[in-house]
Structure 1
Amino acid sequence: MHSIRKLLSFQGIGALSHLNCTEKKSSLLFVKPTTSYCSPPTQSTIASMQTLSKEILLLEMKKSIPILSNSLHKGESGRIGVIGGSLEYTGAPYFAAISALRVGCDLVHVFCMKEAAPVIKSYSPELIVHPLLDSSNALKAISEWLPRIHALIIGPGLGRDEATFKVLGPIINHAKELKIPLVIDADGLFYINSNHHIIQNCTNVILTPNTIEFTRLYKAIMGITIDPSQPVQPEDVGALAKKLGHVTILQKAEKDIITNGININICEKMGSPRRCGGQGDLMSGMLATFLYWKTHDQYSHEVTLSAAAAAAHLSRMINRKAFEIHGRGTLASDMIPYIPECFRSLFNQE
């Protein structure tokens, strides 16, 4: 077994690829906050949470990526569900779904409102689209599909219709019963503001708020107002994750803060200054696929944090690639073609 000092002397994940990916290496997950690989959280954060290096988290993710084989069956590499898609917002569920496919899952089911379904279907023939979210039997119809879903994204393009929110709670509860890992973003987070008890102590849940969404969550759950014009502090993200019973939070900003209130990682990979819509949706799709792969791997360590770190890192890579070509006019759709290339670069494999 390599010592932690020797392991960290290698440069980058490619140099770590020689390790046996079936071995359990939980002892390698923890590095002292003083190491050069660790991001620099505040002193209070260092005192209360263990910093995990990006190299170790990415290696943990790499170990759980399913090996491509001619013996695989359709669906084995992941069946992802997306709860979202309304008349006004059809792009968000598409971006979440297509990024999940581009990163390597096999099938994506989008559960949307009836009026959104034809539009979402027109974006890609690869998506399985169910116009059920606003149907009279929405809960029953969607619940029948859930046992086939490996990971569920809740929120992209969902909207804030009261009738939809009434269905959302029972869907989340059913997913919990089935132990389906959840990624909650966008209007799914708005629902959590008033219903945070529903994810309390759910350690297979990842919340992905941007700064505004985080300040709303923090106010709703902690009862404290944070200035949204200022950078969110790592200790605040950690405090909220701990309050929720160690739910993992990927707080998206100039530096992405990833923590479950016990361990923390800060993603400082260079992205781009472009802030077009849809980037968070792309991340949520990749994250859901990674989360399933990690959950499905019986030898897996740091399931939610490694999935989140990989999604954050890969999102910044595709953002940067697209920006180098398209500059100020970069769109989320411009980033999609770079997902396979950047995936290969990040993990040194197909």
Structure 2
Amino acid sequence: MGSKIDDSQLMGMVAELFPALDRQKHKGEAGRVGVIGGSEVYTGAPFFSAITTMRVGCDQTHVFCAKDAAIPIKSYSPDLIVHPTLDGKNAEKDVSELYERLNVLIVGPGLGRTDSTMQITERLIGKAKEKELPIVVDADGLWLINQKPDVIKGYSKAILTPNVMEAKRLWKAMEFPEDSWTPNGENVKKLSQAMGNVAIVVKGSTDTISDGINSLESGAEFGLKRCGGQGDIMTGALGTFLIWANQAKKDGKNQLIQALGPLCCAAYAASILTRRCSKLAFEDLGRSMIASDMLAKIPAVVKELQNCKK
């Protein structure tokens, strides 16, 4: 956009992302998410991502994980639908046949980096692109993109969520000089353009967002404890907000959503929510804070964000 956007406009946009609740709606109208992730070693990451999608407000979330990850993830919450199919012989069919039910796909939390996992993930991303399913890529999903950028390059419904070091690896993969990388708005925009205008949010002391055309920064205060799992929480929030932002774009709702596009708007909303949860949890617990404590803050932050215009 030509003129500078102030924080009050952005927060008003975030408030308008939340769909109205009424007694006439049925299960699924607030969104269905799929999370591809979870391995024998990493079961917390897909849980944090998946449960956040529901705490923010989507109706149903499926987790597609390795067999050895399924029972731990199921035990964390009965609210998630867990499919122990990712390392099975028919993984591509078993996962992709459920794409028709989903509004967005999150790829990467706790995925692991074995060759077989990377191969099936590449094929599952391809199937999602065929269905024009919006895709959020994080964590080990970014490792795949770093090795094979063409897997996602040019797909306008995708958003990548690297931290500063992961973004530096992508920068190098796009053949920019490695020593020229700094996580500023100009470079994130260049990186997005090099990826074929795939949207990117680089997480750091300030979260920097760009789809190669529009750019935003989210610098809201956050807690000082940098515990594991915070990125997974942001990824889950982004999944739900992206469903709502896409619907708001179709509805012609809010000029900022029309101008900036659903990917940038959803990323900004997810960043604000995650930072606010981190701040509140840190205020309570200080250095003892863990990611689970942030989950407990999501309901209050959701209420605050959706009412911020009132």
TM-score with structure 2 setting the length? 0.93
Q: Paired residue for 1:306? A: 265
- Matched residues in 2 for 1:120 and 1:136: separation? 21
Amino acid at match of 1:327: G
Q: Is the 8 A contact 1:103 1:343 kept in 2?
A: yes
- Matched residues in 1 for 2:239 and 2:7: separation? 19
SS at match of 1:222: coil
SS at match of 1:346: helix
Q: Is the 8 A contact 1:207 1:250 kept in 2?
A: yes
Amino acid at match of 1:308: A
1:321 to 249, 266, 280: 280
Q: Is the 8 A contact 1:153 1:288 kept in 2?
A: yes
Is the alpha carbon distance of 1:174 and 1:54 closer, same or farther for their aligned partners in structure 2, counting shifts above 3 Å?
Answer: farther
Residue 95 (structure 2) pairs with residue 142 (structure 1): yes
SS at match of 1:189: helix
Q: Is the 8 A contact 1:248 1:261 kept in 2?
A: yes
- Matched residues in 2 for 1:279 and 1:181: separation? 22
1:86-127 deviations in Å (ceiling 9; x for gaps): 011000000001110000001110000000000010000101
Amino acid at match of 2:151: I
Q: Paired residue for 1:254? A: 205
1:344 to 283, 303, 310: 303
Q: Paired residue for 1:69? A: 22
Deviation at 1:199, TM superposition (A): 1.6
SS at match of 1:109: strand
Q: Paired residue for 1:191? A: 144
1:50-73 deviations in Å (ceiling 9; x for gaps): xx4443344334333211011111
Amino acid at match of 1:293: W
Deviation at 1:31, TM superposition (A): 5.2
Q: Paired residue for 1:264? A: 215
Residue 104 (structure 2) pairs with residue 133 (structure 1): no
Q: Is the 8 A contact 2:216 2:268 kept in 1?
A: yes
Deviation at 1:343, TM superposition (A): 1.3
Deviation at 1:198, TM superposition (A): 2.1
Map 1:149-164 to 2 at 5 A: 149-164=102-117
SS at match of 1:257: strand
1:29-50 deviations in Å (ceiling 9; x for gaps): x3524xxxxxxxxxxxxxxxxx
- Matched residues in 2 for 1:183 and 1:199: separation? 11
Deviation at 1:165, TM superposition (A): 1.1
Map 1:76-91 to 2 at 5 A: 76-91=29-44
2:3 to 25, 28, 32: 32
Of the two, which has the highest radius of gyration? 1
Q: Is the 8 A contact 2:14 2:305 kept in 1?
A: no
Is the alpha carbon distance of 1:144 and 1:309 closer, same or farther for their aligned partners in structure 2, counting shifts above 3 Å?
Answer: same
- Matched residues in 1 for 2:235 and 2:109: separation? 9
Amino acid at match of 2:74: K
- Greater shift in the superposed pair: 219-228 or 240-249: 219-228
SS at match of 1:167: helix
SS at match of 2:178: coil
CA RMSD of aligned residues (A): 1.6
Q: Is the 8 A contact 1:246 1:261 kept in 2?
A: yes
- Aligned residue pair count: 301
| Identical columns (%) | 44
- Matched residues in 2 for 1:131 and 1:58: separation? 39
TM-score with structure 1 setting the length? 0.83
Q: Is the 8 A contact 2:16 2:306 kept in 1?
A: no
1:281 to 232, 257, 264: 232
Q: Paired residue for 2:244? A: 293
Q: Is the 8 A contact 1:183 1:207 kept in 2?
A: yes
- Matched residues in 2 for 1:56 and 1:241: separation? 24
Deviation at 1:227, TM superposition (A): 7.5
SS at match of 1:62: helix
Amino acid at match of 2:138: D
Deviation at 1:173, TM superposition (A): 1.4
Q: Paired residue for 1:20? A: none
